[in-house]
C-alpha cells in the first residue's frame, strides 16, 4: 500500500493518537475506585472520527473493541445535529448501543472552530448500577428490568454543566454512589485528556490534513488486515460447542455454532445455528459477538495491526436476531461476558481447522465471577466483585499457560490481602489444582481454585461460571480439561453447586470455585517423557495420571522416567487403539 499522506507525518500523527488513547487508560487505572477497573481492566478508551468510527483504541479490554461505534451511532441518532462544545454523552442500555448495564459508555465530542472533528470515548464497568443483586451482574435475572438502571443515550454534561436530572437519578439507583461518581469522574478526566491532545494535533497539521490522516488510519488498518488474511487458506470452517446452561433452566445446554468463511482478503463469522436467546442473563448483543469474533481472528494475525475499526472492513460478523449472539428485548445480559468467552473458544475451534498450526485447544471458558454483597451491622453497604480467569488450552507449539488471563480480557488478579482488608471475606486458598489439565503432546494449563470465607453476618453471594458439564475440548488427539466446580463448605458438607448460582450465605460459610482445566493439544503419547516427569515433580500431574494419560512410568524413588517401562506401556497403548485416526476434537472421556 502507498500512503497519500506523508509517511512521516502519518506515523507521527498515528502515534500521537494511540498515545493519547493509552494516556486516557492510564488515568482511569490510576484514579478508579474499583478493583474491576484497575485490576480486571474492565474498561476501554478510544478516539473516533467525527462520524464515530474508531481510529485509535487504547491497549484495554479486547471485548470492547467494536462496541464503541455501535454505541456512538445510538448517540448520533438522537443528537447528531445539536451537539455543542462541552457536551458529554452517556449510555448503558444494551438495547440502544450498550453491551450490558454495568458498562457505562461516555462520549465527548471535540470541536475545533465550532466544527466537530472527533469524539473522545471511555467505556467503564461500574461496580454497581442497581438492580436486584449487588454488583448488577447476576446470571439468573430473566429480563433486563431486573438488572439495574437503564440509561438511554443522554447528556451527562450539557455545554459543560452537569445534567442534574441524570446525575441524581444515578445517585438514587446505585448502591454505592460515591464509587460510581468517582469512576465517572475518572472517565470524564480521560475524555478531557484526549480532547486536549486531538486539538494539539489538529493545530499542528491543520484540520483538513488531520481529517485525511484519520481516514488514512482506517485505510491503513484495513490494508494490513487484508494483506494478512490473504495469506490464510480459503474455505468454510464450522464448529459447535455448548454452554452448560443459563442459570435458570438448569441442565439445559445452550448451543453455540459458528461458520467461518474465508475468501481472499475477507473473512466472515456467521453465528446462525446458535441457540435462541435464553431466559438467563447471558445473552450477548451483536457488538459482543463482533468483538469476540474479531479477537479470535486477530490472535492469529501479525501483531503490528493498529487497533481500530478499519479491521471491520475485512471482517464481517453476523448473528440471527433473537439468538443468544444477538439478543432482543427483554433479554437479560448482565453476565454476557460468559457467552463472549465461550464464543471465543468456539471461534477458535473453527479457526483451528483453517490454521491448525496457530490455534490453541479450549481454554478455561473465561472468567469465574463472584460477587459478595450486603450490609454491615450499621446498614452501610458492601460489594465485593472479583473476576478471575487464567488457564489456556494446549497450543500446537507449547503447553497452555496457567495463571494467565484470557485473550478476551487481559485481567489482573486482585490481591488477596487487599481484598481481605477491604471486604468482609477471608480468602483461604488460591492455588493450582493437580491432575486437572487436559493431557496432550502439549498439555492444557493447570487450573486454580479459590476459597472465600464469609465474615459478615449475612451476604448475598453470586457465582458465575461454566464448563461443569461441557469440558474444555482437546484438539488433534489432546484430551479435554477437567470440568470446573463450585462448592459450598468444601471441608465439611462439600455441597456441589451449579455453575451459576445466587444464594444467601452466613458468617463462616466457605464458597469454593475451581476453574476448568485447559484442553490438551496433540497425542499425549507423544509428549516428551521428561516434560511429564517435570509435571510430576511439580505435583501438577500425579504418577498415576502420568501412566494413565501419557503412558509414562515414573520411578518415584529415583525421581526419574523409567524409560524401558515407558516404551513398553506406550507401545501397548498404541496397539490397543488400533489403526483409528486421531480425532480433531475430543470433548469428553472415551
Q: Within positions 407 to 436, which residues make up the interface with other proteins, using CB under 8 A?
A: 407, 410-413, 415-418, 420-422, 426, 428-432
* Pairing mode of beta strands 88-91, 103-112: antiparallel
Residues 309-348 that bind other proteins (CB under 8 A): none
Helices (H), 135-206: 164-173, 177-205
| Contacting range for other proteins; rule: CB under 8 A; set: 223-231, 265-273, 311-319, 491-499 | 223-231
Q: Does 303 bind other proteins (CB under 8 A)?
A: yes
Binds other proteins by CB under 8 A, chosen from 25, 54, 260, 461: 25
CB closer to other proteins out of 8 and 329: 8
CB closer to other proteins out of 12 and 166: 12
Residue 425: enclosing H or E segment and its boundaries?
strand 425-432
CA-atom Rg of the chain in angstroms: 25
CB closer to other proteins out of 12 and 275: 12
**In the bound complex, what is the minimum distance in angstroms from residue 509's beta carbon to other proteins?**
17
Q: How many binding residues for other proteins (CB under 8 A)? A: 90
Q: Does 489 bind other proteins (CB under 8 A)?
A: no
Q: Which one, of 400, 404, 421, 402, lies nearest residue 412 by Cα? A: 404
**In the bound complex, what is the minimum distance in angstroms from residue 228's beta carbon to other proteins?**
8
Q: Does 242 bind other proteins (CB under 8 A)?
A: no
Residues 346-375 that bind other proteins (CB under 8 A): 358-360
CB closer to other proteins out of 91 and 344: 344
CB closer to other proteins out of 164 and 422: 422
Binds other proteins by CB under 8 A, chosen from 173, 179, 489, 498: 179
**In the bound complex, what is the minimum distance in angstroms from residue 284's beta carbon to other proteins?**
20
| Contacting range for other proteins; rule: CB under 8 A; set: 75-83, 299-307, 463-471, 472-480 | 299-307
CA 558 centroid distance within chain: 44
Q: Does 397 bind other proteins (CB under 8 A)?
A: yes
CB closer to other proteins out of 193 and 282: 193
By three-state DSSP, how is residue 444 classified?
Answer: coil
d(CA 463, CA 472): 19
CA torsion, ordered 64, 65, 70, 74, to nearest 10 deg = 50
Q: Which residues contact residue 29 at a Cβ distance below 8 angstroms, ignoring those fewer than 6 apart?
A: 37, 38, 41
Residue 17: enclosing H or E segment and its boundaries?
helix 7-31
553 burial via Cβ count (<10 Å: 0-12, 13-18, 19+): buried
**In the bound complex, what is the minimum distance in angstroms from residue 405's beta carbon to other proteins?**
5
Q: Does 52 bind other proteins (CB under 8 A)?
A: no
373 burial via Cβ count (<10 Å: 0-12, 13-18, 19+): buried
Do residues 246 and 87 lie in contact, with contact meaning Cβ atoms separated by under 8 Å? Answer: no
| Contacting range for other proteins; rule: CB under 8 A; set: 111-119, 323-331, 514-522, 534-542 | 534-542
Sketch the per residue contact string, 180 through 219, with other proteins: x for CB under 8 A, - otherwise: --x--xx-xx--xx--------------------------
| Contacting range for other proteins; rule: CB under 8 A; set: 13-21, 78-86, 245-253, 501-509 | 13-21
CB closer to other proteins out of 182 and 320: 182
Binds other proteins by CB under 8 A, chosen from 44, 46, 48, 60: 60
Q: Does 178 bind other proteins (CB under 8 A)?
A: yes
| Contacting range for other proteins; rule: CB under 8 A; set: 105-113, 234-242, 369-377, 390-398 | 390-398
Binds other proteins by CB under 8 A, chosen from 82, 115, 208, 304: 304
**SS3 readout for 449-496:** EEEEEECCCEEEEEEECCCCCCCCCEECCCCCCCCCEEEECCCCCCEE
**In the bound complex, what is the minimum distance in angstroms from residue 163's beta carbon to other proteins?**
18
CB closer to other proteins out of 425 and 553: 425
Length of the chain: 590
How many CA atoms lie less than 13 Å away from 32 in the CB half-sphere?
24
| Contacting range for other proteins; rule: CB under 8 A; set: 236-244, 261-269, 373-381, 401-409 | 401-409
d(CA 436, CA 50): 50
d(CA 428, CA 541): 23
30 burial via Cβ count (<10 Å: 0-12, 13-18, 19+): exposed
Binds other proteins by CB under 8 A, chosen from 77, 161, 398, 582: 398
DSSP letter (8 states) at residue 81: G
Q: Which residues contact residue 402 at a Cβ distance below 8 angstroms, ignoring those fewer than 6 apart?
A: 390, 391, 392, 432, 437, 445, 446, 447, 448, 518
Which residue is listed with cell 443515550?
153
Binds other proteins by CB under 8 A, chosen from 108, 298, 441, 464: 298
CB closer to other proteins out of 283 and 406: 406
Amino acid at each position: 500500500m502507498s500512503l497519500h499522506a506523508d509517511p512521516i507525518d502519518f506515523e507521527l500523527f498515528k502515534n500521537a493518537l494511540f498515545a493519547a488513547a493509552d494516556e486516557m487508560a492510564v488515568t482511569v487505572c490510576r484514579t478508579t475506585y474499583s478493583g474491576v477497573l484497575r485490576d480486571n481492566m474492565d474498561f476501554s478508551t478510544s478516539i473516533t472520527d467525527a462520524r464515530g468510527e474508531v481510529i485509535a483504541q487504547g491497549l484495554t479490554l479486547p471485548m470492547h473493541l467494536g462496541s464503541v461505534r455501535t454505541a456512538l451511532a445510538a448517540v448520533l441518532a438522537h443528537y447528531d445535529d445539536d451537539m455543542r462544545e462541552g457536551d458529554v454523552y452517556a449510555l448503558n442500555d444494551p438495547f440502544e448501543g450498550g453491551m450490558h448495564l454495568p458498562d457505562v459508555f461516555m462520549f465527548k465530542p471535540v470541536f475545533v472552530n465550532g466544527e466537530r472533528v472527533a469524539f473522545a470515548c471511555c467505556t467503564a464497568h461500574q461496580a454497581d448500577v442497581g438492580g436486584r443483586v449487588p454488583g448488577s451482574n447476576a446470571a439468573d435475572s430473566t429480563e433486563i428490568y431486573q438488572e439495574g438502571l437503564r440509561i438511554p443515550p443522554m447528556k451527562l454534561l450539557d455545554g459543560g454543566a452537569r445534567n442534574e436530572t441524570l446525575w441524581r437519578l444515578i445517585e438514587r439507583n446505585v448502591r454505592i454512589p460515591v464509587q460510581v461518581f468517582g469512576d465517572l469522574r475518572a472517565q470524564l478526566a480521560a475524555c478531557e485528556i484526549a480532547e486536549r491532545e486531538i486539538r494539539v494535533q489538529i493545530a499542528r497539521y491543520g484540520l483538513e490534513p488531520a481529517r485525511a490522516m484519520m481516514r488514512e488510519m482506517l485505510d491503513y488498518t484495513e490494508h494490513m488486515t487484508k494483506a494478512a488474511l490473504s495469506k490464510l487458506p480459503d474455505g468454510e470452517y464450522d464448529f459447535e460447542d455448548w454452554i452448560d446452561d443459563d442459570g435458570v433452566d438448569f441442565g439445559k445446554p445452550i448451543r453455540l455454532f459458528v461458520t467461518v468463511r474465508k475468501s481472499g482478503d475477507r473473512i466472515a463469522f456467521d453465528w446462525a445455528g446458535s441457540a435462541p436467546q435464553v431466559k438467563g442473563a447471558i445473552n450477548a448483543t451483536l457488538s459482543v459477538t463482533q468483538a469476540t469474533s474479531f479477537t479470535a481472528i486477530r490472535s492469529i494475525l501479525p501483531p503490528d495491526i493498529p487497533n481500530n475499526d478499519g479491521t471491520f472492513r475485512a471482517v464481517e460478523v453476523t448473528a440471527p436476531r433473537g439468538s443468544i449472539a444477538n439478543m432482543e428485548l427483554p433479554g437479560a445480559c448482565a453476565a454476557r461476558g460468559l457467552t463472549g468467552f465461550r464464543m471465543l473458544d468456539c471461534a477458535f475451534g473453527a479457526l483451528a481447522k483453517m490454521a491448525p498450526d496457530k490455534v490453541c485447544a479450549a481454554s478455561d471458558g473465561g472468567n469465574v465471577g463472584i460477587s459478595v454483597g450486603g450490609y454491615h451491622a450499621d446498614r452501610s453497604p458492601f460489594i465485593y466483585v472479583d473476576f478471575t480467569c487464567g488457564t489456556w488450552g494446549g497450543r500446537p507449539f507449547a503447553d497452555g499457560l496457567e495463571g494467565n488471563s484470557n485473550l478476551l480480557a487481559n485481567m489482573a488478579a486482585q490481591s488477596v490481602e487487599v481484598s481481605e482488608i477491604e471486604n468482609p471475606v477471608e480468602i483461604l486458598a488460591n492455588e493450582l489444582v493437580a491432575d486437572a489439565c487436559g493431557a496432550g503432546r502439549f498439555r492444557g494449563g493447570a487450573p486454580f481454585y479459590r476459597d472465600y470465607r464469609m465474615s459478615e453476618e449475612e451476604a448475598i453471594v453470586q457465582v458465575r461460571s461454566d464448563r461443569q458439564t461441557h469440558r474444555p475440548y482437546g484438539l488433534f488427539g489432546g484430551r479435554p480439561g477437567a470440568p470446573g466446580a463450585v462448592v459450598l463448605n468444601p471441608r465439611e458438607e462439600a455441597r456441589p453447586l451449579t455453575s451459576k448460582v445466587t444464594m444467601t450465605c452466613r458468617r463462616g460459610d466457605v464458597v469454593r470455585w475451581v476453574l476448568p482445566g485447559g484442553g490438551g493439544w496433540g497425542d499425549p503419547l507423544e509428549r516428551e517423557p521428561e516434560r511429564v516427569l517435570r509435571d510430576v515433580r511439580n505435583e501438577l500431574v500425579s504418577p498415576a495420571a502420568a501412566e494413565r494419560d501419557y503412558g509414562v512410568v515414573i520411578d518415584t524413588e529415583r525421581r526419574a522416567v523409567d524409560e524401558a517401562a515407558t516404551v513398553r506401556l506406550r507401545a501397548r497403548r498404541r496397539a490397543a487403539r488400533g489403526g483409528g485416526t486421531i480425532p480433531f476434537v475430543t470433548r469428553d472421556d472415551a
